[in-house]
Structure 1
Amino acid sequence: MKALRIGAGLVSVLVLSLVALAAPAFAQSGQLKGKVVDAQNKALSEAKITMLAAETNRKYETKTDSKGEWRQIGLPPGPYTVTAEKDKLSQTFEVRVGLDTKEVNFSLQAGSGGQMSAEQAKKEAERVEGIKAAFAQGAELTNAGKYDEAIAKFTEVLASAPKCAECYVNLGAIYSRKQDWAKAEESYKKALEVNPESAESYNGLANAYNAQKKFTEAQAMNAEATKRMTAAGGPGNADAFYNQGVIAWNGNDFPKAQELFAAAVKANDKHAEAHFMLGQTNLNLGKLPEAAKEFETYLKIAPTGPSAEKAKANFEMLKQYIK
């Protein structure tokens, strides 16, 4: 246990051994990807891809890259009208998004079209509904603490939808709860093979590495998670910054930890634990007035929180330094 001398007394400094494990992600979404070529089978860059959800009328748009390839993640399951357009040529397909990755390729040429038959659409709808039901059962089993049964259920889903990135993410979270770090790492890596932009997978890997005290690897993975969560926006940024701050703290990089905890409270000024750890970091760096204010803020936000007792003791000792 480390200690920091302040005045005539000693203040114990909390050492965190683990980043708190995130709960499994049970939001159900899928993704589409594909390639667009011309009549000579040459890749078409900057082709516009439009995905219109039939049930909600919500539209998603993206463009092909220099290789003619495109990808759209985060699509709620259901029927979509997917269209590729460039230079007054277009092609449209009716597809059904599930929890896996569906590939939709286009060949833009005069007279191109493409439709799914009614029978094909019915069979695909039944397949997707079965996958959704099994996924939901896996989520329920996980929440009930029946981890082995949940693993079996998500594995069942993967047999029908081998590119279900969220199945792998949830398996990673379950194995993390079981502290089976090798299988957790394997699951998160498989999720990234399917969806390289999965912030949850990078964050899960960071947790797994951190639990094994592989702090360098943990920092690298959490940086990747933070990059993607920041790009996506939203309140999840605070948690990402907080987790990365804890990893920096565990690696004794206190200036970096201070920077990250400060970013966490900036992203969400109600993030109590981020305020507490910012206080701890300021304390370790000898910034006593700043530390006192963070402990005071924690007590206002979470007077009965898990770190309330330590925050109160530290605040009582440091409040004299507040100017």
Structure 2
Amino acid sequence: MPCLADWFRRLSGRDGASGKLRDIIILQEDSMVRRFNGRLAWVAGCAALFALATALPVTAQSTGMVKGVVKDTQGQPVDGAKVVIEMSEGTSRRFETKSNKKGEFIQIGLPSGAYRVTAEKDKLTSNTADVRVRISATAEANLVLGAPGAAAASKEAIAKNAELKSTLEAGIAASNAGNDDEAIAKFVHATELKPDCADCFYNIAFLHSKKKEYDKAEAAYKKAIEIRPDYSDAYNGLANIYNAQRKFEEAGAASLKAAELSGGKPGALAGGNADAMFNQGVILWNAGKIADAKKQFEGVIAANPNHAEAHFQLGMALVNEGNLPGAAGEFETYLKIAPTGPNAAQAKALVEQLKK
């Protein structure tokens, strides 16, 4: 990675702007990996501890739908059957709709994940259809009301889901209490109850990453992705652990995939996931790809003009280019947005030195 202090000395023809400025710039270089790790771990931690306990906000760009048909044992459509669509990966999210005269039903606005779909009418229950909802995609569930063994199967599924739910709640409680080993054991048991529980593997991976057991974390993140190929948080988790090990090429690839899945494109100047783009920019910076990192920080600001850290990092990139007035402007913007932010003292000192 280029040394910004050395560059600044060459540019100014003197021993940097000041010893203080050199110290600040060098400190910035050394702290990039640490700040990225802490920041992403916080984001991942929120997802890990609450993904199975709370529902995420539903948006048009991050939901899918389920549709299907309810028929009786004679193959005739059933009108007015209550269709229950219940998330089966730990949360208690539940959606209900009804079939029309043709037996058809549809439910939109579903977050991605695994669901269990059943129907009932006049004390008759249907078979259980297990489906996976993906972003901007349609899953199909065809149900037969009064199918042989449907009631027994439904009771068994309810009991198994109750055990899964209690296991996940115990895992979350253990994690909140700082008992990471116990939490891992609970989430591992959850995967035995439901082998396709992507969120369970994600939480296992996150907890291993907290313990710096990176090989185990990597395996669990990859398992979560195998189950749910569009799991952007798991790709961000991979980027996090690769970055912690200074495997910047692997981190960059994982971060790029996370950004794509989140709706952003490399260097995109509008839309997309600002945090994913920022993380990618940090990884590129750590890998010494300053020009590419700058494009990412510009993309973050275009997507979210109030992203303070992106303004700070863009300022550092502009210092590296020799655009000192532009850099000063970015540091000033940072101070307006985050006057007490983690880089406020550095930004203030840089503005003072760059304007001399």
TM-score range, shorter chain: 0.7 to 0.9
What whole-Å deviation, never above 9, does each CA across 1:252-310 have from its counterpart, x for those lacking one? Answer: 11111011111112222222222211111111121222211221121122222211111
Aligned counterpart for 1:171 among listed residues 195, 204, 209 = 204
Contact 2:114 2:130 in 1 (8 A): no
- Which residue does the alignment assign to 2:123? none
Cα–Cα, structure 1 residues 284 and 225, in superposed 2: closer, same or farther, change >3 Å?
same
Pairing 1:1-323 to 2, within 5 Å after superposition: 2-3=4-5, 4-5=7-8, 7=12, 8=14, 9-10=17-18, 11-12=21-22, 13=25, 14-15=28-29, 16-18=32-34, 19-20=36-37, 21=41, 22-23=44-45, 24-25=47-48, 26-28=50-52, 53=85, 55-57=94-96, 59-60=106-107, 74-75=112-113, 79-80=117-118, 94-95=128-129, 113=144, 115=147, 117-230=150-263, 237-319=273-355
Secondary structure class of the residue paired with 1:145: coil
How far is the alpha carbon of 1:79 from its aligned partner? 4.5
Q: CA deviation at 1:173?
A: 1.3
SS of 1:149's partner is: helix
Q: Check whether the contact 1:276–1:295 (CA below 8 A) recurs between aligned residues.
A: yes
Q: Distance in 2 between matches of 1:188 and 1:121?
A: 31
Is residue 52–residue 60 contact of structure 1 (8 Å, CA) maintained in 2?
no
Q: Which amino acid aligns with 1:53?
A: I
Listed one character per residue, the Cα deviations across residues 113-143 of structure 1 (whole Å, up to 9, x for unaligned) are 4657223212212211221222122223223
Higher helix share: 2
Structure 1 Cα separation of the partners of residues 130 and 190 of structure 2: 17
Residue 196 of structure 1: how far off its partner (Å): 1.2
CA displacement at 1:225 relative to structure 2: 0.7
Cα separation, 2, equivalents of 1:77 and 1:236? 27
Q: Provide the secondary structure at the position in 2 that maps to 1:53.
A: strand
Aligned 8 A contact 2:206 2:217 in 1: yes
The more displaced of 143-152 and 221-230 is: 143-152
- Report if the CA contact (8 A) 2:198-2:224 is conserved: yes
Query: Aligned partners of 2:231, 2:331: CA distance in 1, in Å?
Result: 34
| Alignment RMSD (CA, Å) | 3.6
Q: Tell me, in whole angstroms, the C-alpha distance in 1 between the residues paired with 2:255 and 2:322.
A: 27
User: TM-score if structure 2 supplies the norm length?
Assistant: 0.67
CA distance in 2, matches of 1:284, 1:137: 49
Partners of 2:164 and 2:193 within 8 A in 1: yes
Q: Alpha-carbon deviation of 1:52? A: 6.6
Gaps of 5+ in 1: 37-50, 63-71, 82-91
Contact 1:53 1:78 in 2 (8 A): yes
Instruction: Count how many residue pairs are aligned between Structure 1 and Structure 2.
Output: 276
Deviations 1:9-42 (A, max 9, x none): 153321212433232433238x99xxx9xxxxxx
Task: From the superposition, tell whether residues 314 and 282 of structure 1 become closer, same or farther in structure 2 (CA, over 3 Å).
Answer: same
What is the identity, as a one-letter code, of the residue corresponding to 2:85? A
SS in 1 for 2:276: helix
Considering fraction of residues, name the structure with more strand: 1
Residues 118 and 167 (structure 1), Cα distance of their counterparts in 2 relative to 1, 3 Å cut: same
Task: Give structure 2 stretches of 5+ with no counterpart.
Answer: 56-62, 69-82, 87-93, 98-105, 120-125, 134-138
1:156-185 per-residue CA deviation (whole Å, 9 max, x = no partner) reads 111101111111111111111111111111
TM-score (norm 1): 0.73
- 2: CA distance, partners of 1:127 / 1:311: 55
Q: Is the 8 Å Cα contact of residues 191 and 200 (structure 2) preserved in structure 1?
A: yes
